[in-house]
């Protein structure tokens, strides 16, 4: 049956491989073939031009609330609304930590990376735990913490947290769940065999979160706990404010189901995705897809019209997560370099990009709602990402920002 499936999808080279393997390895590979959605990836390959593209979609401005411009009364009102949610144990946090962190090049999951702050040496996961603990003490609660990992880094993440005793966080309030994956496909439309003699797969992007929350039973658990609002953030912004009643209050007051924080775009050329409306619905446009004249466009106050940078700081109602867990997101294509075993079992290490990786993005789901709340916050207080080994958005720049933030 596995062989027939491969034949039907033009992947006979895997059959040749299979036939050369000893029985146990052959069975493993055959099982993998039966379980994988190969048709989906072959279809994606055959329709490369139909994956997500801005193309001639209509891009328009989206409005945001600027924290600097809030009146004192509104600020207090929003904050109190949010505090009620947290105090009623209706708030949970998800850290997305399934990425590969290729640009940083750290040997291990990104959350296990250590930064040297004025206040001491800390792992990224530890910084998150400390923020949670601070909120727990303030509001007399224990916020459930979920961590999205991937097949590649789940075991290492689990072992690291065990080894550090979850940095003192109550263990039964921490749960890891694995995101989905898709097979890689070569630029010739062929599946690849990895050094474990199985078909190479890779994480399918952070948009995988919605389906994974459902498939891994997290939504059921949240429902049982009566969680009403869920914060979702990345693992690598050391100034990320993961428990902020203000964001909750703004979203609830605007009667929205989803919300994000943004920071003001530093200059028209900053390489960051910005919030906008795409064909009338909320979304994010990547810097590479935003036409130059739009990137430069300014409003009557001289501010960039597309000036709200995505900092991976999102809030969802539980109902929204439940709804979005059933939505199919579009795939974006990334071309990557991936080594593989050739027909003779030799490891090939290409220097040029040789595979397509399909990824979905968390923000593509926003378009399922007519409106969302966007709260523009101060960059210096809430955005210190670690993406690259050196230069922009590196440990060095992030640590400087962290050490200079006033609100810590």
List residues near ligand UTP by CB under 6 A.
Answer: 96-103, 110, 148, 179, 203, 205-206, 234-236, 312, 387
In the complex with ligand UTP, the residue whose CB is nearer, 206 or 313, is: 206
CB of 88 to ligand UTP, least distance (A): 28
109 in Cβ contact with 160 (< 8 Å) = yes
Q: Which residue is nearest to ligand UTP (CB)?
A: 99
Q: Which two tokens stand for residue 257?
A: 């189901």
CB of 125 to ligand UTP, least distance (A): 11
Q: Which two tokens stand for residue 91?
A: 């708030």
Ramachandran category for residue 55: left, alpha or beta (phi over 0 → left; psi -120 to 50 → alpha): left
CB of 164 to ligand UTP, least distance (A): 19
Q: Quick one: which H or E segment has residue 260? A: strand 258-264
CB of 101 to ligand UTP, least distance (A): 5
305 in Cβ contact with 326 (< 8 Å) = no
In the complex with ligand UTP, the residue whose CB is nearer, 101 or 249, is: 101
Ramachandran category for residue 393: left, alpha or beta (phi over 0 → left; psi -120 to 50 → alpha): left
Q: Which residues pair with 177 in a beta bridge?
A: 148
Angle in degrees, CA 219, 243, 271, rounded to 5: 90
In the complex with ligand UTP, the residue whose CB is nearer, 98 or 283, is: 98
Q: Which residues pair with 264 in a beta bridge?
A: 308
In the complex with ligand UTP, the residue whose CB is nearer, 12 or 335, is: 335
115 in Cβ contact with 384 (< 8 Å) = no
CB of 239 to ligand UTP, least distance (A): 14
CB of 261 to ligand UTP, least distance (A): 15
In the complex with ligand UTP, the residue whose CB is nearer, 264 or 387, is: 387
Question: Please, is 95 exposed, middle or buried when counting C-beta atoms within 10 Å of its C-beta (0-12, 13-18, 19+)?
Answer: buried
In the complex with ligand UTP, the residue whose CB is nearer, 106 or 164, is: 106
Q: Residue 159: which residues within 8 A CB-CB, separation 6 or more?
A: none
Q: Which residues pair with 65 in a beta bridge?
A: 375
In the complex with ligand UTP, the residue whose CB is nearer, 110 or 264, is: 110
In the complex with ligand UTP, the residue whose CB is nearer, 205 or 249, is: 205
In the complex with ligand UTP, the residue whose CB is nearer, 149 or 367, is: 149
C-alpha 263: how far from chain center: 18
CB of 64 to ligand UTP, least distance (A): 21
CB of 80 to ligand UTP, least distance (A): 30
CB of 380 to ligand UTP, least distance (A): 21
Decide: helix, strand or coil at residue 341: strand
Q: How far is CA 45 from CA 142, 187, 342, in A?
A: 45, 8, 21
Q: Which residues pair with 230 in a beta bridge?
A: 92, 316
Other Cβ atoms within 10 Å of 249 Cβ, number: 24
CB of 197 to ligand UTP, least distance (A): 24
Q: Quick one: which H or E segment has residue 308? A: strand 308-317
In the complex with ligand UTP, the residue whose CB is nearer, 102 or 196, is: 102
């Amino acid at each position: 049956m596995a062989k027939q499936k491969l034949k039907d999808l033009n992947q006979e080279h895997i059959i040749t491989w299979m036939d050369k393997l000893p029985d146990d390895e052959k069975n493993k590979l055959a099982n993998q073939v039966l379980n994988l959605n190969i048709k989906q990836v072959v279809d994606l390959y055959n329709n490369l031009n139909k994956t997500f593209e801005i193309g001639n979609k209509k891009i328009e401005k989206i409005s945001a609330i600027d924290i600097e411009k809030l009146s004192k009364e509104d600020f207090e009102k929003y904050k109190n609304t949010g505090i009620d949610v947290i105090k009623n144990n209706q708030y949970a946090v998800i850290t997305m930590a399934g990425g590969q962190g290729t640009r940083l090049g750290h040997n291990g999951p990104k959350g296990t990376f250590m930064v040297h702050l004025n206040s001491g040496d800390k792992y990224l996961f530890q910084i998150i735990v400390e923020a949670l603990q601070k909120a727990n003490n303030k509001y007399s609660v224990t916020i459930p913490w979920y961590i999205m990992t991937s097949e590649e880094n789940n075991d290492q993440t689990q072992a690291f947290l065990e080894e550090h005793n979850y940095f003192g966080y109550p263990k039964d309030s921490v749960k890891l769940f694995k995101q989905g994956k898709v097979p890689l496909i070569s630029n010739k439309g062929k599946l690849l065999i990895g050094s474990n003699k199985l078909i190479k797969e890779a994480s399918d992007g952070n948009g995988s979160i919605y389906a994974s929350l459902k498939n891994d039973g997290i939504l059921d658990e949240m429902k049982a706990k009566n969680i009403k609002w869920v914060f979702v953030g990345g693992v690598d912004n050391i100034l990320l404010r993961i428990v902020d009643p203000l964001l909750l209050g703004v979203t609830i007051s605007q009667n929205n189901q989803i919300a994000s924080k943004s920071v003001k775009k530093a200059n028209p050329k900053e390489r960051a995705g910005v919030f906008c409306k795409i064909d009338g619905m909320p979304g994010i446009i990547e810097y590479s897809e935003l036409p130059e004249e739009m990137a430069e466009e300014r409003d009557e106050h001289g501010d960039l019209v597309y000036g709200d940078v995505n900092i991976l700081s999102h809030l969802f109602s539980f109902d929204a997560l439940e709804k979005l867990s059933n939505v199919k997101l579009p795939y974006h294509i990334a071309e990557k370099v991936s080594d593989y075993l050739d027909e003779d079992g030799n490891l090939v290490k290409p220097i040029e990009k040789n595979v397509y990786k399909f990824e979905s993005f968390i923000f593509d789901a926003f378009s399922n709602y007519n409106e969302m709340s966007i709260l523009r916050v101060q960059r210096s207080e809430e955005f210190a990402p670690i993406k690259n080994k050196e230069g922009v958005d590196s440990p060095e720049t992030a640590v400087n920002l962290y050490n200079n933030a006033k609100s810590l």
